[in-house]
Amino acid sequence: MGQHIHILTSANERLQRIHLIKVLSAIWRDSGNVVSFGDRPPSRTDVIVAHTDHSVVADDFFSNVNDGLPVINGRARNILKSVVSQALISPGSDWDGPVIVKTNANAHAGEEYAYHRLDIPRLAKILAARVVPWQWIEELPLRRYPILDSKDRVPDWVWRDDRLIVERFIPERDKELYALRLWMFFGKQEYCMRVLSTLPVVKSRKLVKVDLVDEVPDQVRQLREKLGLDFGKIDYVMHDGRPVVFDVNKTPTVFLNRKGQPGPYVRRLADGLEELAK
C-alpha cells in the first residue's frame, strides 16, 4: 500500500503544470501513492512536502501539520538573496565592474512584495516606465532585472530599499553566449544542467543549448546543507574557476517536451522521496 503525500502550500497558492512538484506528484500517484495539495493536510497524511513561493517561511505556515510527521524542506526557512547570494555588494564595496539590481525575494518578489499586483499606484508606475527611466519612478522594470555599468549608477533609493539587492554582474560566458548552471535535487537524487542563452540574464526563454553537468562543486553542496534544503534548485556560475551562487529556489519548474512530458533525469528525482519520507 502506498503513502499519502501532502504538498503543503499557502492558502491561495496555485501550482502550474511545469512546477517540478506537479510532475513528481504524477509519478508518485502512478506508483500507487495518494497525493493531496493545500494548506490543511488530511488526517491520514504520511509525509509533508513544504512548497511555497515565500522566500521567508514563518512558523504559522506549519500550524496545521501534526507533530511527528516528516516534513520535507521543513528546515528551509529563509532563501532571500541577501542570505544566499555570493555576489552581493554594498555602496562601499571594492567593485568597479557592471552590476545587476534584483528583488531580494524569489520570483521577482511576487508573493512577499506584491510586485505583480496591478493596483492603481503600481499601474501608474508601469505606464510611466514606458516614457521615463525606471530609476526616476523608483520601481524596477516589470519582470526584468536592470544591468548597470557600475555601482555608481545605482540610484540611492535602491540601496535604501531592503526589498532589493545589488550584485556583481559576473556572467559565465561560452563565446557569445551566456551560461547558467541549475542544480536540481530531491533527497539524494539530483542532476545539474548548464543552460546557454543569448540573454545576459539567463531564463527559460531564448535558450540555445542545454547540457548536463557531471560534477557539482563542494561549495554549492555545502550551501544546500547550511540552508536545510531537501528539495529544490540552486543557480550558480563558474567565475575565475570558482562557483558563485546567485539564487536558491524551493519551488522550481522544469522543461517539458512537446507532449508535456519531463525528461528521464527529472523522473529520477521522484525516487528521492523514499529516504526523506522515513
pLDDT recorded at residue 51: 96
In percent, how much of the chain has pLDDT > 90?
71
Count of CB atoms situated within 10 Å of the CB of 157:
11
Distance separating alpha carbons of residues 67 and 69, to the nearest angstrom: 6
pLDDT recorded at residue 219: 97
Let me know whether 187 and 158 are in one domain: no
Let me know whether 267 and 206 are in one domain: yes
Let me know whether 179 and 155 are in one domain: no
Nearest residue to 210 via CA among 233, 197, 194:
194
58 grid coordinates: 514563518
Is residue 77, in this structure, part of any structural domain at all? no
pLDDT recorded at residue 114: 47
Let me know whether 49 and 102 are in one domain: no
Last residue of a domain, one of 72, 107, 124: 72
pLDDT recorded at residue 162: 92
Let me know whether 202 and 162 are in one domain: no
Distance separating alpha carbons of residues 91 and 144, to the nearest angstrom: 22
Is residue 130, in this structure, part of any structural domain at all? yes
List of E strands, the chain: 4-8, 34-38, 47-50, 71-72, 99-103, 147-148, 164-168, 172-174, 177-186, 189-197, 207-213, 231-239, 242-249
Q: What is the number of structural domains in the chain?
A: 3
Is residue 224, in this structure, part of any structural domain at all? yes
pLDDT recorded at residue 197: 94
pLDDT recorded at residue 203: 79
SS3 119: coil
Distance separating alpha carbons of residues 204 and 195, to the nearest angstrom: 9
pLDDT recorded at residue 69: 93
Count of CB atoms situated within 10 Å of the CB of 233:
20
At 255-272, the pLDDT tens digits run: 887 777 888 889 999 999
Is residue 181, in this structure, part of any structural domain at all? yes
Range of the domain at 176: 172-276
pLDDT recorded at residue 107: 63
Alpha helical stretches, state H, 75-130: 81-84, 120-128
Distance separating alpha carbons of residues 50 and 71, to the nearest angstrom: 7
At 227-236, the pLDDT tens digits run: 999 999 999 9
The domain that contains 210 carries what CATH number? 3.30.470.20
Query: Which stretches of the chain score pLDDT less than 50?
Result: 113-116
SS3 146: coil
Let me know whether 12 and 44 are in one domain: yes
pLDDT recorded at residue 2: 87
Structural Rg of the chain based on CA atoms: 20
Is residue 98, in this structure, part of any structural domain at all? yes
